[in-house]
Each structure stands twice: as C-alpha cells, then as structure tokens.
Structure 1
C-alpha cells in the first residue's frame, strides 16, 4: 500500500523524469532543489538502485528509472482521476486548450472526449486540429499545441508519451466486396487487391508497408487520401479496400471491418505533451477526460 510520503516520492520522481532538470522539477513541485534531491535519493535507497545518472548539470534516466516510470505512470493517472472527480465541483475552470489529434481518433474518440469535457467545464474553449503524427509532434515541441492524441513519436527527447491502449488496424471493405463475408484475413491475401491508403509520409502507412513486405504482399494502391472519413466513403461507394484503425468504426452497415493476421498491424495511441512545459489545469483535466473516455470504451 502506498503511503502519503511514498506517493510524494513518486510525484517528485515523475516530475524529474519529465523535465530531466532538478531546477524545473523543483519549480513544478513547489519545493527547493535540495528537498527534491533528498526525496529522490530516499526513493533510490528504497528501490536499491539509481534511477538517474547525474553528470555535472546533465541528468539522464537509468534503465531502472525508465522501467519505474513505465509502471508508475498509469497508477498516478488513476490517482489523478480520483482527485479530479472529487474536485470537479469546487469551482469553474476556464481557459483555452489546443489539441492535435490524428485522423482516425478525430472521428469518434475526440468528439466524445470534447463532449465529456465541455459538459464538466463549459467555460473552457477547446481547439482541435486534425494533423498527422509528425505534425503533432513538431507543433508540441514548438509550443504550438498543449496536448496531442497520437502515436509514439520516433524522437522522444522533447516529448512525453503516455500509452492509452493497443489498437489493431483492420481491413475495411464495402458490403458487396468479395471479402465482405470474411471473419479474418491474412495480410498475404491483400496481394494485388485494389486499395486506398494514407500517403507514405504517414507513420500508419509506413507501418502497413512493413507488414506488407513481411507477408510478401503488394496491394494495388489506386488511391491515396490524407483523411480517414473520405477513405471510408470511397470504400463504401467503390469496389476498393482500405486498412484503417478500429477507432474509425462507427457501425456503418455498409462497411465491414475485418481483423488482419500474419502479421496483425497494431499501433499504440497515447497522450503526448512537451517535456518540461507547465501544464495548465484545463490541459490536465482534458487529459483526464481522454483517459476516462478510453476506459469507458474498453469496458463496453
């Protein structure tokens, strides 16, 4: 069982892991650097190994630190959920949030999150931009966005990523397509199939191309669209297939979402924000709203 002092240790540890700076972490936690350093040393002594490497003013995480962060972040988020639920009625929250979301999440997940959030915090203005994963990472790093709902970026030095769940990419066909009656399909069966896919600069397309190569399949890509909604509409109207995340499935009777295997293309969506950047209360609460919606979707 985590005691009050131990929970504080973990809060300090997460702040230092996020900023990699004793100065900025102490400012975030509203304590002195010496207090923060002492608490981190106590935690390291309790665990029995160093969590950070300290070389001059440069701070990096050890393998043990990375492992601890991976496992405690979900637990701390659950604590935040509980605290936010208690504090919701204590006063109005105002301000503005700038959110970047990839295309598939902007179809169903993000509208649910914004709806849930604005019901609780009607005085906050939410601005959502539909962007590629690369654009979200770039704009977060430049301070042009407060939060991203995207995939793990290749370069994570400037960003923190909190995984939310694992999502399979599925074959999507119209009700009259030759594959419409299938319960599952192997990637190799997509060889020569007429398809519409995202352009090659999307991380999802790059993942799919790797899966196609692994299966020895080469689909006939006759169209590329940079947004999910028109891809689904094209699949509905024409004898053409696509591979799209399950999060885009709105239950349209004219479309069939078919699981893929050998290999199964899978991605991990998550929350993204800039390391070391102060997170305003509305941003923290919107992140909580996203976690709450994801949890409710998984429990259905």
Structure 2
C-alpha cells in the first residue's frame, strides 16, 4: 500500500464519483479505478459499492475512511511545516463566493489569512455561481468558492465536501416538529425558492420530479437572506443549506429524504491562468478550515442523535 492509494481512496470517498475523484487527483478514471481495486485486494475488503448509478461507501470503507483522514492530515501538516511561507508576501487577492459561503466560511478564512499575511489586500465579492465562473474566465478573479459549475468551460474545480440541503419552516408550521420529511410530502406545499436561474433550484426541481412532488411555489427570490426572512414571517417553507443559516431565530431545520438533495461546494480557478502565491495560500487556508469544521461536525453528529435543530 502506497500513499497515493490512500489519497485516491479519500478522493472517491469524499466525492462518491469516480470521474470527479479522478479530476481531483489528476489521473484518468481508468487509472483511479485500477488503483482502488488494488487497494481493495490488498485489504481484502470492498470499500465502495454501486447502487444503481450511485457510488456508496461500504461499512468497511467508512471505517477505513475515518482512520485514513487523520493520517493524511498529519502527513500534510508535516510536509507543510517544511515549506517556507513568505510572511512578507504582498499584493492583492481577488476572490468571490456565493452567499452561502460568504455568510460564515469567508469571514472565518479571512480572519486567519489576514493574520498570516497582513501585507496582502483581499477583495471579496458575493456573486452567483455563473458570475464567479465568468469573472474567473475573464481574469477578474483569482479564486472562487462556489458549487460545481454545470459546464466547466476551462475552469478547475476542487470539491471540498458534500452538503445536504434541508427544509426550513417557521416554529409554528405544521411540519416544524417533524424529525424528517420525505420529498414526496412537499407535494402541494406552499414554498419560496430561488429562481430557476440558480443551479441549486434546478437541482431541487430534479429532486421534486424524482419524488413525484409538485410544491406550490408562491415566491421566487434571487437571494437567500430575504427567503429565510419570508419563511420566518409566513406559512411558506424553503430549502437551504445549513451554512446559509447564521443565528436565525424562529426557524426550524428539518432533514429531507427520498431523495436527499446534496450539493458539492468547492474551489474554482481558471485552468490556464498562472495562480498567484496568495491564491494558493488562501486555497490552503480554506481546505484546512473546512477539514477542521467537517471533523467537528462528525464528532457532534456522533454525540447527538439526529433530530430537529433550531438556530
């Protein structure tokens, strides 16, 4: 077993997609599949299984994943500690993020980054996913934090993690006390959602169709904050990611299933452009903080049984 086998395994476990994982570790899909088979033969365990068109982690694969993550983290930290970091790095870093990440993740990453590199001026914009892609291609941005673009168009996408989208309601809504809601139960439900121009809305429409549900879309908005406020003040429901909610009073969060809507956030940059040092260091800061956050979330989920949470 070699280090590359562990990195290939981790890429598949985090993306649950061999094509995306191959892109992430910069090998062909056939090479990645062959390496995973070698690893499974050496371990004598099947790490992944196919359920229809989906790739899922087996019980053995999940156990192996929990052991591999801290090992690779320590290796990366050891390698990183040997690299010289130019603390006197200067210049300007131009990044953009969608609203979901601009609420919590970006301020957290900036607080760490500007302490480490105080001479770099960071310019942050909140843009839609399509605008981020356009600005990266046009050379107006160095780094983007968004969801996987439907058409890469010369962009490199590095997945960070998978996130569930969940139903939100006011505290007095009939569904507020539910532990879980099936997508089919949203049929006829009064809702507010993003407009159809957003890739997230398009993905939700596909989930509705797969479940045979036709919710009553009363209001379409192009921003999440007013959508959450509308849910708080009315009988409307919505579907958002946890990271879009920050200390939101009078809102209940309920997991969805059959199917569970899932998005893949990640880092975006222009494939052909030379990446400035500041962009690389910011990307590394984001990776580390996301990994820490995911590890903390995993610990919390193991301590508490699933249920309704409120913010």
In the superposition, the TM-score normalised over structure 2's length comes to 0.70
Distance 1:82 1:135, change over 3 A: farther
Whole-angstrom CA distance in 1 between matches of 2:155 and 2:73: 18
In 1, Cα distance between equivalents of 2:156 and 2:74: 18
Structure 1 unmatched ranges of 5 or more = 11-50, 52-59
SS at match of 1:285: helix
Moved more, 258-267 or 132-141: 132-141
Q: Distance in 2 between matches of 1:138 and 1:194?
A: 34
Counterpart secondary structure, 1:134:
helix
Is 2:189 aligned against 1:200?
no
1:106 to 85, 94, 102: 102
Cα drift, residue 103 of structure 1 = 1.6
Residue 79 of structure 1 and its aligned partner are, at CA, apart by: 6.6
Counterpart for residue 276 of structure 1: 272
Alpha-carbon distance in structure 1 between the residues aligned to 2:231 and 2:28: 48
Q: Secondary structure at the match of 1:299?
A: helix
Alignment partner of 1:123 is 2:143: no
Q: How many residues align?
A: 244
1:153 equivalent among 130, 145, 149 = 149
User: Deviations for 1:183-225, whole angstroms, at most 9, x for unmatched residues?
Assistant: 1101111111111111101000000000111111111111111
Specify the alignment match of 1:294 in structure 2: 290
For 1:173, which of 157, 169, 172 is the aligned residue? 169
CA contact (8 A) 2:96 2:127 kept: yes
Question: Match for residue 222 of structure 1?
Answer: 218
TM-score (norm 1): 0.73
Distance 2:77 2:144 in 1: 19
Query: Cα 1:160–1:291, aligned 2, differ >3 Å: closer, same or farther?
Result: same
Q: State the Cα RMSD in Å.
A: 3.0
**Change in CA separation of 1:69 and 1:292 when aligned onto 2, cut-off 3 Å:** farther
Q: What residue in structure 2 maps to residue 43 of structure 1?
A: none
Partner of 2:132: 136
Greater gyration radius? 1
Aligned to 2:59: none
Report the secondary structure of 1:176's partner residue. Answer: coil
In 1: Cα distance, 2:28 partner to 2:295 partner:
35
Q: Is the 8 A contact 1:100 1:149 kept in 2?
A: yes
